[in-house]
Amino acid sequence: MPATLTTLFTPANFINGSWSFEGDGTFNTVVDKYHGTELARVPNASEAQMEAAIAASYGSRTALRKMSAGERSAKLEALAALIAQHEEEIAQLMVQEAGKPIGAARIEVARSITTVRTAAAEALRFWGDVTPMDFGAGVGKTAFTKRFPIGVIAAITPFNFPLNLVLHKVAPAMAVGCPVVLKPSPQAPLCAFVLARFMEQIGWPKEAFHVLMCGVPVAEKLVKDERVAMLSFTGSDKVGWHLKNICGKKKLALELGGNAAVIIDEGVDLAAAAKTVAIGANVYAGQTCISTQRIFAVRSVFAQFRDLLVKEYAALKAGDPSDASVIVGPIIDKGHFERIGSWVAEAVQGGAQLLAGGKAVDASRNVFAPTLLTGTKDSMKVSCAEVFGPVAVLEEVADFDHAIAQVNDSTYGLQAGLFTDSVAHMKQAHNELEVGGIIIGNVPGFRIDSMPYGGIKDSGLGREGVKYAMEEMSEPRLLVY
């Protein structure tokens, strides 16, 4: 790793303002996802260290609550400035630890800056509501609510957005005055340790922010602890629902999986839609929960769209994520690489037709080709489960009503995309699609960091997006006089 990158982070747990190179005696090794070389060995925290982090966070609540909104906002602005100062270095670190193509990594860092600056602005205007009272028994009275931080936030984050998804939990918590204990992904935790370094530099209260790498039992201690007021988790639906079952009475925000769908209606620019969909299904090797996985084209345009989409697939480049022309980099690890290949093989053996890909580009580096299938069955894993890889299915539907029904025929409901020029179809989609968000003229992977983001069904509970996360992390208190 270049020396400039090694100076960005400390490979140790950050607890109560100190870096600890000791733990439970085991270590988490972080590797370059394309080259396979070791980047860092981080000690797994012990139960006693987790206890220290929780206790310190719990003890910091009063002081953090008393910090003025202006001071919290200024600290967030200082954090954004530090990220911007090291923008390219952080992007290069993402390429290595997460296997994220450099173009996507640069976009993530830019979004991270936006997330923090949005939180800085929201801290200044986040307040409460005036409550109408001047009628009936309330005549002559005034009432309003003021929002207060709920307390300690347990944040558990995934590998695929190693900085921005961390900040979608940390920045709103800072804006409202909640302490955070963060457990990042074992596959890509280094950007979280960069953030800890920056929190030191901006002078955030040391008792109010901790980053610990740890095994499952220690992580579950964090989830179960009654001093923790809220769990904010982003990851798989299997793990997320398990954590819900064990977390007790605390508040909960779950951002889980999906098999996101897009509808191609008649009357749209099919060539432009095909280019957007091809990228949306394959950028970062499809390793996002709103990656385009199911594509439904109405019968009148299906054949033309299919041919255009196959052509766009042929133009996608897979390989070294440090190459700016690469869209599809490595799968995060060998286990997921092999799983993706087995799901595709299973679909083909079951009668599905390969339109593109379907094989490894470089098995030694876990690079899988952008893959497009058609003629799949709803019961096939590539359709009904979350692939989390560069795999999509394209299917013909009779009409728009059938397309709506197919999108809804899923245990997931995160976001959906719709290419249409029909206002009536846009309204119908808004009324009938069972998802958390509908993106018109784009793929379901579109996200702006201030918008409410989250799903229904097995895709989770609650909403992120800075202001919306701040609402989750605070509670209104009513005053009547």
Report the range of poorest mean pLDDT among 6-20, 45-59, 290-304: 6-20
Contact 10, 193 (CB under 8 A): yes
CA distance 352 to 50: 49
Which of helix, strand or coil describes residue 150? Answer: coil
Highest CATH level, class, for 3-256+459-480: alpha beta
Whose tokens are 């173009």? That residue is 103
Distances (CA, A) of 95 to 114, 280, 379: 20, 19, 35
Per-residue pLDDT, averaged over 416-439, amounts to 98
pLDDT for the residue numbered 51: 98
pLDDT tens profile 269-280: 999 999 999 999
pLDDT for the residue numbered 6: 72
Q: What is the DSSP string of 297-332?
A: EEHHHHHHHHHHHHHHHHT--BS-TTSTT-SB---S
CA distance 282 to 308: 16
- pLDDT band per the 50, 70, 90 thresholds, residue 7: confident
CA distance 192 to 186: 11
Q: How many CB atoms lie within 10 A of CB 439?
A: 20
**Where do the structural domains in the chain lie, given as residue ranges?**
3-256+459-480, 261-448
Q: Which two tokens stand for residue 470?
A: 């701040």
- Please tell me which residue in 122, 289, 471, 472 is annotated as part of the active site: 289
Total residue length of the chain:
481
Whether 255 is a known active-site residue: answer yes
Beta bridge partners of residue 261, listed in sequence order: 294, 416
pLDDT for the residue numbered 441: 98
Q: List all residues 6 or more positions away from 35 whose beta carbon is below 8 Å from its beta carbon.
A: 365
Greatest Cα-to-Cα distance within the chain, rounded to the nearest angstrom = 75
pLDDT tens profile 95-138: 999 999 999 999 999 999 999 999 999 999 998 999 999 999 99
Mean pLDDT, all residues of the chain:
97
- pLDDT band per the 50, 70, 90 thresholds, residue 71: very high
Distances (CA, A) of 136 to 104, 140, 141, 143, 332: 57, 10, 10, 14, 62
Which CATH topology does 261-448 take?
Aldehyde Dehydrogenase; Chain A, domain 2 (3.40.309)
Contact 261, 293 (CB under 8 A): yes
Whether 384 is a known active-site residue: answer no
Per-residue pLDDT, averaged over 445-461, amounts to 97
- Please tell me which residue in 97, 122, 207, 255 is annotated as part of the active site: 255
